[in-house]
Chains A and B, each alone.
Chain A
């Protein structure tokens, strides 16, 4: 009896298996293929037509790989723009490929190596030099009228230009500055710091034990000390204000800032904030951007180096902070070269067949009504002159960010940039987490730097 039951069950399973194999795999993949085929043929026809007459009613699908679309506030606003655009142009479908920023590079790699890039994509700053080197980015300038081109703020144009080519379409800019607690600064009775010494004094004064249990529970500085793009780019902003230029191309040779005394000084200062002065919450090397912002939002820290979008994010996370936040320019030493302008915008793939449509959409996103609204809600500043009427430019809380726009530093496209940042991150995490001395870390760093320079100069 039991045996028969088993046999029946077994047979049944075989049948199910075979049926599902053919239906589940077979028909589904067929359907998929059909769909695919439909899509590709659609794309082909469209590509021909789009170059001829983009305003025709041929259906066009543009794919945009986006790191902003997955963010809560930004994503919703961006989707609304896309919908508004599609309503105006019923033949256009905008397909966002949302990818969390930390997955972007991996995904891009798969696309790039298979020559399968979406029409437009977000480029992470650390991947930027590589992308330029790979030659996958369309020069956007020839697609724009001179008049439109001139309508961008100069700082934005500088930041998106590489080798004389406009490789990103500026959308917003998040210049770097320091967000601070105005009420806490008042408490200390000090002025807004302008030098690093003053910064340190303020940070020390803000650090205290508020509930009197003998443990420090409030810190002056929300440091992002992780060894990743978010941490290293922030450190570079600090280093630039000690006078470091990331890497320079002089007389046909690359030089890096690492062997300069200014660099050593900045590394020492940065790591001392934690190891010596203890004005940073525990565990800076595991404190990424999100954690650092959380410390500020939950009123555990008083200052943080961040892009202007940090302001919007903080107020969303903790509305009680409204009126208690301000910003000042990153303190500087003599010879400071400035902070990054943080211009973000989509790059267009050289292989895209819908460049004109994409550009038209990106222009649409830059229209004042959207740009100003976007800025007010997210703290991401407009990049076009006509949008500088945005009230955000006159808000006292954003003062430091607006001032930062006057002195932006545009790094050169050093091919070993990513490796260089990674080795710098390794150095400061080693100092702060593993008790390595600054001298030893510098020694290792310089050896690595020489290797990288050799590699870069051999190309």
Chain B
């Protein structure tokens, strides 16, 4: 008994040590980003380097929020990410249900197609996307960007949702059908609510994909008033001058909404995945 107790204590010690080491591996770059953001420009280039600046200042944050169209960009990022998340969720949920509850020709093809769609290098999609959006007059619109985001996150989301639905016993469907529900009613009244944790995971995934996109946003947006945060951040590293403190401040501010979102929802995210989302 004594043995096992010390043994398990030792084990949890090891666990903590490993966790702390790896957390440090993750945190050092992030904390350095914070440290740089609260330095003055001169201090970012003064040696020896300091973790805590001599004169900590929030000037960089003030600059990006006051002198910069920060609010607009935040709002744009938010609109794009939210709208694409909602749409992705709808499509993925429907498809997930359809795939697991119906037999139809081409289902196999459809499923492997979802995976295949991830295989084409994204760089080569730029010009075709631009062409499509232009044809439908969607350049510089939220709708256009949202379409692109959906297509980027939809395949993984559908995959997640379908494995999730797979875990819900078919007997539930049948019971509900016998109770007189129509097919669609069965779907949205009985089965879908059970997948709520899964839907939350998908939502978080899609939101992060949309929020963090740079490649497409930077090419498909040409008006200042439509720019998103990631595009705005890139502008801090101009050809002639990089203001590291401003750049880092902007990066931090851009990540905060996601961190908050995640802090609230992470429980659901992992339990959602657990409930079967990532299984085959």
Where the two chains meet, the residues of A that have a C-beta atom closer than 8 Å to any C-beta of B are: 6-7, 9-11, 13-14, 16-18, 20-21, 24-25, 28-29, 32-33, 36-37, 40, 63, 65, 67, 70-72, 95-103, 106-107, 109-110, 113-114, 116, 118, 230, 289-290, 293-294, 297-298, 309, 313, 317
**B234 touches A (CB below 8 Å):** yes
10 nearest A-B residue pairs (beta carbon): A10-B193, A29-B143, A101-B239, A32-B141, A6-B193, A110-B130, A24-B83, A298-B45, A290-B242, A7-B193
Q: Does A17 contact B89, Cβ atoms closer than 8 Å?
A: yes
**B87 touches A (CB below 8 Å):** yes
Q: Does B146 contact A103, Cβ atoms closer than 8 Å?
A: no
State the main secondary structure of chain A at its contact with B.
Answer: helix
**B11 touches A (CB below 8 Å):** no
Q: Does B141 contact A36, Cβ atoms closer than 8 Å?
A: yes
Q: Does A100 contact B235, Cβ atoms closer than 8 Å?
A: yes
**In the assembled complex, which residues on chain B have CB atoms less than 8 Å from the CB atom of A40?**
137
**In the assembled complex, which residues on chain B have CB atoms less than 8 Å from the CB atom of A29?**
138, 141-143
Q: Does A114 contact B131, Cβ atoms closer than 8 Å?
A: yes
Q: A11-B189, A21-B86, A230-B239 are in contact. Are A103 and B196 (CB under 8 A)?
A: no
Q: Does A103 contact B87, Cβ atoms closer than 8 Å?
A: no
What distance in Å separates the Cβ of A455 from its nearest Cβ neighbour in chain B?
Answer: 22
Which of B104-112, B219-227, B259-267 lies at the interface with chain A?
B219-227
Can you name 16 extra interface pairs (CB under 8 A) apart from A10-B193, A107-B218? A6-B193, A6-B196, A11-B189, A24-B83, A32-B141, A33-B137, A71-B238, A71-B239, A100-B238, A102-B239, A106-B126, A109-B126, A110-B126, A114-B134, A230-B239, A290-B242
Task: Offer 8 A-B interface pairs, CB within 8 angstroms, sorted by A.
Answer: A25-B87, A28-B83, A32-B143, A71-B241, A109-B127, A110-B126, A230-B239, A290-B242
**In the assembled complex, which residues on chain A have CB atoms less than 8 Å from the CB atom of B87?**
21, 25
Query: Count of A-B contacts with CB under 8 A?
Result: 135
Nearest residue in B to A103 (C-beta to C-beta)? B218
Q: A6-B193, A100-B234 are in contact. Are A67 and B239 (CB under 8 A)?
A: yes
The contact of B219 among A25, A72, A106, by CB within 8 Å, is A106
**B82 touches A (CB below 8 Å):** yes
Number of residues of chain B lying within 8 A (CB) of chain A = 45
Q: A17-B86, A25-B83 are in contact. Are A11 and B188 (CB under 8 A)?
A: yes
Nearest residue in B to A112 (C-beta to C-beta)? B127
Q: A25-B143, A103-B234 are in contact. Are A72 and B193 (CB under 8 A)?
A: no
Q: Quick one: which of B139, B218, B238 has the most chain A CB within 10 A? A: B238
Q: Does A36 contact B235, Cβ atoms closer than 8 Å?
A: no
Q: Does B146 contact A309, Cβ atoms closer than 8 Å?
A: no
**In the assembled complex, which residues on chain B have CB atoms less than 8 Å from the CB atom of A297?**
45
> Bound state CA distance, A36 and B223, in angstroms?
13
> Per-residue CB proximity of B216-251 to A under 8 Å, as 1/0?
001110111000000000110111111100000000
What distance in Å separates the Cβ of A201 from its nearest Cβ neighbour in chain B?
Answer: 28
